[in-house]
Chains A and B, each alone.
Chain A
């Protein structure tokens, strides 16, 4: 063991000196490995980041909530067919609550963009949610400060509003927003509550830049049929699949669809997202793996090639070393370590570049942190490539005949 380390150290010195002497050649040879390592680490890091983001976003939806909408989440049908579906009639909500055994709570939800002002302060591009009072049953929204509105307030078209965390911060930097009046679409609303901070949905849609008003107030003040509209149904968590089937049946009856007609609505659930997400994730991962495998293969061939050249160039040196007492394993070790040092350095360089890119993504796109496991695997992978690529040239060097090698010009 002591001897092994002794020769490892000696061979490492030789390898580093050799690399230094052939800087340009080593650099060019290592490029393929660098690219491969960047591909694999960056891909893993991004997927891990998107995973975390997805998990967090799925919490907004809730496992036991089913959404009846015009557009399916998973995609699949043709855009044009879906485009021609009738809009969801929000009045169906009451019938669904009445007819479906699985509907524990049925909330109506509409939404659109608007601008909000308070005195000279203005908040543009705010998402206005019009929801029924029981919306709290079907969403993870929480009131941080103040209160939620009541069912009677909804029924009587009350001009009350709850502000998202960032909206409140933007409009009321130095004031208590509660009981203040804000303006939106030519209407005045009384602030009754501030929503707890939620973060972004899928890293894109900021859930804290929205405001919530009662559903009927929304219907009264915003006449257009545009914008988001859906019926959110809370179902028993153990019977989600049955509930979806039941709701489909109820909807088909309510819409008087013929038996051979396809659904002209969508019953959406978190699962649909998960399936689609998994597909995207695996395609990204697959592409990443192919890029990695290809660049490592090409890189590995490059390393093997340069090692063959190195063995050829240093035939005489090998002869001298053998004459002076180097055994096969010493020579083999020397060239293997040289190959591993090239790929190892390439691995570290690739890792550093990938870490830099991850940092950029983390700062500006979405949370993505390279794990120690990924870093470790990347280094292990480059070492493996080095051993595999260096094996045959090293064995060739080890088996050289000392007499012929000494004569080699």
Chain B
């Protein structure tokens, strides 16, 4: 791992490839503001394979958030194609997208976004509730297992306000893991944490990656981005650089 080698984003093939988890081709997101046209995403193409660890960077207004929302199936593109795990999700309805989010994507947010009145266990169970009728006891054991994976077996019945920031983010990671998603999509996961706790969370992500998960990090902090083994930089709605990180920073 001595030399850093750079390569441009592979051109998206028209046919979905079974090794490709994410296949984005000519993705546009255009907002009409009165008479002016704002191109939040201006023809983005990229591929992400299984078990990749990717960070997406870029200044505000670069289209970073828009790309994350599209990859996360929270939004649909103006034009372009997006295959997630061989499913074309670019033109799906809201409810179809909800089902895809539920089964394929595990979200980790900057502000944790836990339900404040619910215990860790209930919070982690939440994606399972919307996953087509998993019985309550099965849900519970799956949620317990996920919480154990993030090291919170002793905090299962605590509510978010009884947990530290790092513990809250661990609950959120457990929630992202519980449905065994195709990708874990983390939006500034350390943004609300002090640097030590942030590093702990990043170590957790490193471990999850080592265990075979595909992880996409959206961040503006270089040292966080360096945990990933590939960094995509956006500028003005376009991919500026897409590099493999030779020497990954270990937590």
Contact = CB atoms under 8 A, between A and B. Distances in A.
Interface residues of B, number: 26
Given A325-B103, A327-B130, A406 B113 contact: yes
A325 B131 contact: yes
A17 B133 contact: no
Interface in A4-40: 6, 10, 17-18, 21
Contact of A323 (B74, B94, B114): B74
A325 B133 CA distance: 13
Interface stretch (A52-60, A314-322, A365-373): A314-322
A2 B132 CA distance: 10
Given A3-B133, A10-B129, A403-B74, A325 B101 contact: yes
A324 B102 contact: yes
Interface string B79-104: 00000000000000011001101110
A402 interface: yes
Contacts of B102: 324-325
Contact of A406 (B95, B109, B132): B109
Nearest to B94: A328
Interface in B127-164: 127, 129-133
B175 interface: yes
A324 B69 contact: no
A3 B75 CA distance: 26
B133 A327 contact: no
B117 interface: yes
Contacts of B129: 10
Nearest to A10: B129
Nearest to B127: A324
A11 to B, nearest CB: 10
Interface of A: 2-3, 6, 10, 17-18, 21, 316-317, 319-330, 402-403, 406
Interface of B: 69, 72, 74-75, 94-95, 98-99, 101-103, 107, 109, 113-115, 117, 126-127, 129-133, 175, 179
14 contacts: A2-B133, A6-B133, A10-B129, A17-B117, A18-B117, A321-B126, A323-B74, A324-B102, A324-B107, A324-B127, A325-B102, A327-B99, A406-B109, A406-B113
